[in-house]
Amino acid sequence: MSRHQGKQKAKPKPKYQIRFANVTAEEARGDKVDISLTCSTSNIMWNLLDLTPEQYASLDILYKQFSEGSISGKIEDHLYSSSNTVQQNEAAALLKTHCLDLASLEDVGNKWSVKWSKLMANGERRALYQCDCGRDHTQFGSKVRHTAVDFTGCLAHAELSINELTSKVLRVRGLLGHNETCQNAILARIPKLPVHPSVYAKALAQLQEGVPLTTIQATNRQMFRAGTYPGQPKDIRTSKFRWIMKSYDTRTLYRQYNQVIGVNTNRAAHLNIDTWLNPESADYNPTLLDAVFHYSARASKGERFEVCIATQEMKEAAWKYGHRSQLMLDGTFGLCNSRLLLFIIMGVDEKRKGIPIAFLMFSAPSGNKQTSSGYNTEILTKLLQKWREDVERFGKRSFEVLVVITDTDMKERGALLNVFPHIWLLICLFHIWQSWRNHRNKVLRGNSPALMNIKARLGRLETELIHTTVFVFALQIIDTERQVLTAMIQHGENSSAAERGIVHLDYLLSFWMKEDLWRSWSDFGCHAAAHLLSCQFEGVLPTTNHLESFNRLLKRKHLARWQRGGRRLRADMLLHLLVTKVLPSIFDQRRFEAQEAMRWENMIRNLPGGEALLKARAESGHLARPNIGYLVPDAHRDTAAQGLYEHNQISVPAHCLDGLLFQCYSAFATEYDAQPQLYQIYFGYNGVATCSCLDFQSRSGACKHIRAALLKTESEAHALHTQLVATQMSESMANLSLCATEQSPISKAVATVTDIINDIPDDLFEDIETVGDEEEVESDSESVATDAGDEFDFSILCSSSKAALNAQSMARLTYELQSTVPKLGDLAAIIPSSGACVQPEHISGLEAFHGTLIHLAEKLQHLIIDAKASQTTITLSAQLTGAPKPSPSAALKRPGSPISSARPAPIPISPEKAQKRKQSYSVF
C-alpha cells in the first residue's frame, strides 16, 4: 500500500460544463441533508490521479461517455443515506468487494493509495483512491520503482464520501473495476508497513513547537516502549501498522507539517512568496504582508529577488533604540537553499543586549559564484532607503541615526553614507585586528623564535594603535618600532624577520594610517561617538559581537529546529518561519523577561532596605564587588615568567615602608629600544601584590611579571640563606573565600587590598591603564594612548566618515594596483593578433571582460580628472612608501539631518550550491 504522491505534470483543465440537477424537498426546506446539491453535482477530481498520457486519454473518453448518459460506460456512482440501514449494508458490501473498506485499506497487501482528500464543512470527508498498478513511476523522474506491484496501466480509481463523525458511507463513485493484468498481479517487491496516524499526529504537534527531530524520534521510542499511543495494541504482532518512525518517514512528516502551516511544497518557493504577498491571490497571507515592508519579485535574470522584514515590534524598537543612537549592520548567507543574502540591522537596548530591528533579504545576481560577495553598494542603498522610509511612515517623523558600526566592508559603509549622510561610522575592532593579523601572518610566515618575537612585538604595537586618541602619537608609535627594527637589521640580528616586520609597518602606514580612516577604528572615534551620543566612552560599541552572535543563534538555534537533517530551508519556509516563529519568540522572550524583572523588583522593594539596593544598582549599573586577585597554576604565564627571570629583565627588590618594589622590563624590550616599557610590581608584607600591566588590571589574576618577581624573591632568599615558603591559593579556595563573613581573615585582606589599590601613590603606578570588558589583553599589551578627557575639542569635528571611506577606497586601490597592473600588462602581451582562433563559446566571456574594462576605464578617467582639478594628486609611490606627516584636523561642523523625501511573472531564485563559512584571510 503506497502513500507516495510525486510531483504531477500539468494536465489540461476540463472545459466548463453546465449541469442541471433537481433540488430535493428536504434541501429546499433548509433541512440537513447527507450530501448537498453542490456536492452531488460535482465531478470526480480524476485529473489529480497519477496518469500517463495514454491513461489520461482513456479516462477522458470514459468520463465524456458518462456525462452524456451512456449506459455502456464503466464509471459507477452510488449514493447512500446515512439513516437507511439497508443502504449502509449495501455500501459496506460494495466497499468490501473492492477492498475499499477500512480493514482492507489497512492491510499490507492492499493496492489502493490516497491521492487527494478534503474535509468539508458539514463533516463529510471526500477521498480519492487510485490503484497502485496504474501509477508509472517513470512519469515522475524516479528510476527505481518502490511500489509493491508492477505497473499494468490499470485505470481503477474510486472517490469515497464518508461522514467523519459517524463513519457512514454517503457516496461511492469512480472506475472500480481493475484490468485483467492488474487482477492477476502479484507482489513484485516487499511492501512498506505504513506508520500509524497517531504517531504522525504526535510528531506533528512536536514539530509545530519547534522540537528538534532527534527529540521527536526519542519521544517516539519512549511512547512506543510505554505503549501510550492511542490505538496501540498490547500485542504488537497483531497490528497492521508500524509504530517506530524510520529515517525515510521524516519526508512525509515534514510534508504534512508544510501543509499544516500553509506552505505548498509542490509549488516553487518564489511563487509561494508571490501569492502570499499578493492581496488578489487566493493564498494571500495578511500576517506576512504586514511584516514585509518591501517586496520585489525577480521578473528577469538581470533583477534581484528582494524581501525586507520589519514587524511592528521591530519598528517600535527602531524608534526606541535606533533613533539618534547607534546601530550595527552586517550580512550573512547560507540560510536557505537559494542564493539569498540576509543583512541585519541591530540596535542595543538599555541592558546592552542586541535587538534586531530590520531584515534585508535579497538574491545574489545572475552568474554570481560566491553568494557572500553577491551584493554591491547600490542594492544596500536601495533597501536601507526603503527601511528608513518605512520607519518614518510608522513614526510620522524624520528618523536619524548618529553612529553605525560595521566591519571593514566598504560597500556597507558607502550605502550607509548614501542613506544617512551625516552619521559617524566606526569599524569593528575585531575585524580590524583580523585584517592586521592576517597580513602579519602572511609576511611573517614561520614558527622560528625570531619570527614569533617580531609577531608579538607587532601585535602589541597594533593594540597600542587601537587605543590612541591623537594621530601624531599613532604615527610616533610606528616610527619608534621602525627605528628598532632598522637597528636590528643594521646590527645583523634577525635581519630577515626585522625586514618582514617593516613590510607590515608599511602596510599599516600606507593603508590604515590615513587620518580620516584612523578616526574610524581608534579610540578617538569612540570618544567622538560618545560625544555625539551624550554617553560615557564605555557606552559606545567597539565591535559587532552582538550581531555576530545573533547570526550564529539564528542559524544554529532558531532555524535549525525546523531543518530536516540539517538541510537548508526553502526561501518560502525561511520567510514564513522568520515572521511567524523566530521574531515573535525573540520579542516574547524580551517581554516576559521584562515582566519578570519588574515583578522581582517589586518584591525586593517591599523588603527592608530593598529600595536603597535598587536605587544603588540603578545608579552604578551593578552592585560593587571587591577586586580579589589570586595565584593559581598557569603553564603559559609560568613559562613566560621563567623567561623574564632567566633574561634578567626583573630587577632586585627595593624595600619600602610596607613591602617590596620591583621593576620589570617588557618581554619585548630589546637593547635597541630607546625607552623600553617598564612595569611596577609591589609585594606587600601582608601578602598582597599588584602590577601596573594591563593583564593584571583587567584579569585580576597573577600576571607573568608577578610570577617573575616571585622567582626573583625566592632566588634572593636562597642567596641570603633565608627560607621562604611560597603558597598558592587555588581558584576553588578563592571562590570559597568570597562567601566568608566580613570578620574572616580573608575579608580583612580584601579590604586591605582595596585600600592599598585606592591609596597607592601616583608616582608608583604611573603607567597603569584600564581596559574594557570586551577583550582580554596579554601582559605586555599595555596601551600608550593618551587619555585626552576634556582636551577633546569636538566642536571642530567634521563629518569625516565620507573622507574615511574615500581614504580606505584609495588605499585599497593602490594596494591592489601593485599586483593587478603587471598582470594586465602581461595579459595584453598574450592576446592573439587574429580573431580566427576565437571559439564561439569564448565570445560571451570576452565581451563581458571588455565591458568590465570599459567601465573600469571610465571610473579611473573620472577619478584622474577630478584629482587634477582639485590639485590633490598623490603619486602611487608616495602613497606606498612615503611616511605621512601629521597635519592639523580641518575644521568640521556636523550639519543637520536632510529631509527625506500590471505584475510580471516572477522567475525562480538562483539555487544555492553547497557553501560553508570559511576562515577569513583578508588583509582589508
**Which three cell numbers mark 305?**
529577488
Range with lowest mean pLDDT among 124-128, 357-361, 438-442, 749-753: 749-753
Residues with Cβ within 8 Å of 335's Cβ and at least 6 positions away in sequence, in order, are: 342, 554, 555, 559, 568, 569, 574
Q: Say how far apart CA 579 and CA 263 lie, in whole Å.
A: 14
56 domain residue, yes or no: yes
Q: Which of 885, 922, 889, 887 is nearest to 509 (CA)?
A: 885
Residues with Cβ within 8 Å of 822's Cβ and at least 6 positions away in sequence, in order, are: none
Q: Say how far apart CA 714 and CA 408 lie, in whole Å.
A: 49
Q: Are strands 678-684 and 689-691 parallel, antiparallel or unpaired?
A: antiparallel
171/56 same-domain check: yes
Q: Are strands 112-119 and 124-131 parallel, antiparallel or unpaired?
A: antiparallel
What is the per-residue burial (b if ≥16 Cβ within 10 Å, else e) of 418-454? bbbebbbbbbbbbbbbbbbbebbeebbeeeeebbebb
pLDDT of residue 861: 75
Residue 58 class from Cβ within 10 Å (0-12 exposed, 13-18 middle, 19+ buried)? middle
Q: Which of 206, 225, 249 is nearest to 561 (CA)?
A: 206
Identify the helix (H) or strand (E) that includes residue 312. Answer: helix 312-321
Would you place residue 790 in the very low, low, confident or very high pLDDT band (cuts 50, 70, 90)?
very low
Q: What is the mean pLDDT of residues 821-846?
A: 69
Domain count, the chain: 5
Q: Say how far apart CA 242 and CA 232 lie, in whole Å.
A: 10
406/350 same-domain check: yes
273/345 same-domain check: yes
594 domain residue, yes or no: no
Q: In the predicted model, is pLDDT for residue 250 greater than 90?
A: no
620 domain residue, yes or no: no
Q: In the predicted model, is pLDDT for residue 901 greater than 70?
A: no
Q: Say how far apart CA 121 and CA 837 lie, in whole Å.
A: 72
Q: Which of 253, 185, 191 is nearest to 217 (CA)?
A: 253
Q: One-letter amino acid identity for 370?
A: Q
714/742 same-domain check: yes
Would you place residue 728 in the very low, low, confident or very high pLDDT band (cuts 50, 70, 90)?
very low
pLDDT digits (tens, 9 = 90+) for 282-326: 889 999 999 999 999 988 888 899 999 999 999 999 999 999 999
Range with lowest mean pLDDT among 191-205, 359-373, 737-751: 737-751
pLDDT digits (tens, 9 = 90+) for 34-92: 666 556 667 888 888 999 999 999 999 888 888 777 655 688 889 998 888 999 999 99
pLDDT of residue 828: 64
> Which residue's entry shows cell 529515517?
247
> Which residue's entry shows cell 599588584?
690
* Contact predicate 183/161, CB 8 Å: no
Q: Say how far apart CA 317 and CA 311 lie, in whole Å.
A: 10
The end-to-end CA distance of the chain, in Å, is 61
pLDDT of residue 521: 92
Would you place residue 700 in the very low, low, confident or very high pLDDT band (cuts 50, 70, 90)?
low
pLDDT of residue 293: 95
Residue 116 class from Cβ within 10 Å (0-12 exposed, 13-18 middle, 19+ buried)? middle
Q: Which of 435, 417, 438, 436 is nearest to 426 (CA)?
A: 417
Please provide residue 415's backbone torsions phi and psi, each rounded to the nearest 5 degrees.
-65, -40
For residue 904, the SS3 value is coil
pLDDT of residue 321: 95
Q: Say how far apart CA 819 and CA 832 lie, in whole Å.
A: 23
Range with lowest mean pLDDT among 366-375, 388-397, 880-889: 880-889
pLDDT digits (tens, 9 = 90+) for 658-697: 888 999 988 877 777 777 888 899 988 888 888 888 888 7
pLDDT of residue 261: 86
* Contact predicate 408/432, CB 8 Å: yes
**Which three cell numbers mark 859?**
571610473
669/747 same-domain check: yes
Domain stops at, among 192, 212, 231? 192
Q: In the predicted model, is pLDDT for residue 3 greater than 50?
A: no
503/576 same-domain check: no
For residue 272, the SS3 value is helix
Would you place residue 199 in the very low, low, confident or very high pLDDT band (cuts 50, 70, 90)?
very high
90 domain residue, yes or no: yes
Percent of the chain with pLDDT over 90: 37
pLDDT of residue 19: 53
Count of positions (residues) in the chain: 924
pLDDT of residue 303: 86
761/799 same-domain check: no
pLDDT of residue 289: 94
* Contact predicate 399/392, CB 8 Å: yes
Q: In the predicted model, is pLDDT for residue 761 greater than 60?
A: no
DSSP 58-122: HHHHHHHHHHTT-TT---EEEE--TT-HHHHHHHHHHHHHTT-SHHHHTSTT--EEEEEEEE-TT
**Mean of per-residue pLDDT scores for the chain:** 79
Range with lowest mean pLDDT among 239-243, 509-513, 859-863, 916-920: 916-920
733 domain residue, yes or no: yes
Q: Compute, in degrees rounded to 10, the torsion defined by CA atoms 781, 785, 789, 793.
A: -140
pLDDT of residue 393: 95
Q: Say how far apart CA 65 and CA 339 lie, in whole Å.
A: 51
Q: Say how far apart CA 176 and CA 722 lie, in whole Å.
A: 108
Residues with Cβ within 8 Å of 677's Cβ and at least 6 positions away in sequence, in order, are: 665, 666, 668, 669, 767, 780, 782
Entry pTM: 0.68
Q: What is the mean pLDDT of residues 497-517?
A: 91
Degrees to nearest 5, angle at CA 482 with 481 and 488: 95
Report the 10 Å Cβ neighbour count for 560: 15
Q: Say how far apart CA 207 and CA 250 lie, in whole Å.
A: 11
* Contact predicate 191/112, CB 8 Å: no
343/407 same-domain check: yes
Q: Say how far apart CA 152 and CA 134 lie, in whole Å.
A: 6
Q: In the predicted model, is pLDDT for residue 152 greater than 90?
A: yes
Distances from the Cα of 869 to the Cαs of 293, 862, 876, in angstroms? Answer: 43, 11, 18
Please provide residue 134's backbone torsions phi and psi, each rounded to the nearest 5 degrees.
-100, 5
**Which three cell numbers mark 679?**
612595569
Q: In the predicted model, is pLDDT for residue 755 greater than 60?
A: no
* Contact predicate 155/179, CB 8 Å: yes
Domain stops at, among 225, 240, 261? 261
508/522 same-domain check: yes
Q: Say how far apart CA 588 and CA 568 lie, in whole Å.
A: 26
Would you place residue 222 in the very low, low, confident or very high pLDDT band (cuts 50, 70, 90)?
very high
* Contact predicate 294/308, CB 8 Å: yes
Report the 10 Å Cβ neighbour count for 364: 24
For residue 527, the SS3 value is helix
Which residue range is the domain that position 129 belongs to?
Answer: 25-192
Q: In the predicted model, is pLDDT for residue 387 greater than 70?
A: yes
DSSP 206-248: HHHTT--HHHHHHHHHHHHHHT-STT--SSGGG-SSB-S--TT
675/756 same-domain check: yes
Degrees to nearest 5, angle at CA 30 with 24 and 34: 60
Identify the helix (H) or strand (E) that includes residue 293. Answer: strand 292-296
pLDDT of residue 328: 95
* Contact predicate 443/504, CB 8 Å: yes
pLDDT digits (tens, 9 = 90+) for 122-140: 888 999 999 999 999 888 7
pLDDT of residue 869: 72
Residue 438 DSSP label: H
Q: In the predicted model, is pLDDT for residue 717 greater than 80?
A: no
673 domain residue, yes or no: yes
* Contact predicate 283/276, CB 8 Å: yes
377/487 same-domain check: no
516/557 same-domain check: no
Q: Say how far apart CA 220 and CA 203 lie, in whole Å.
A: 8
660 domain residue, yes or no: yes
* Contact predicate 277/294, CB 8 Å: no
835 domain residue, yes or no: no
**Which three cell numbers mark 685?**
608584607
Range with lowest mean pLDDT among 87-91, 502-506, 592-596, 920-924: 920-924
Domain stops at, among 170, 192, 214? 192
pLDDT digits (tens, 9 = 90+) for 430-439: 999 999 999 9
pLDDT digits (tens, 9 = 90+) for 564-618: 877 889 999 999 999 999 999 999 999 999 999 999 989 998 888 888 888 887 7
Q: One-letter amino acid identity for 561?
A: R
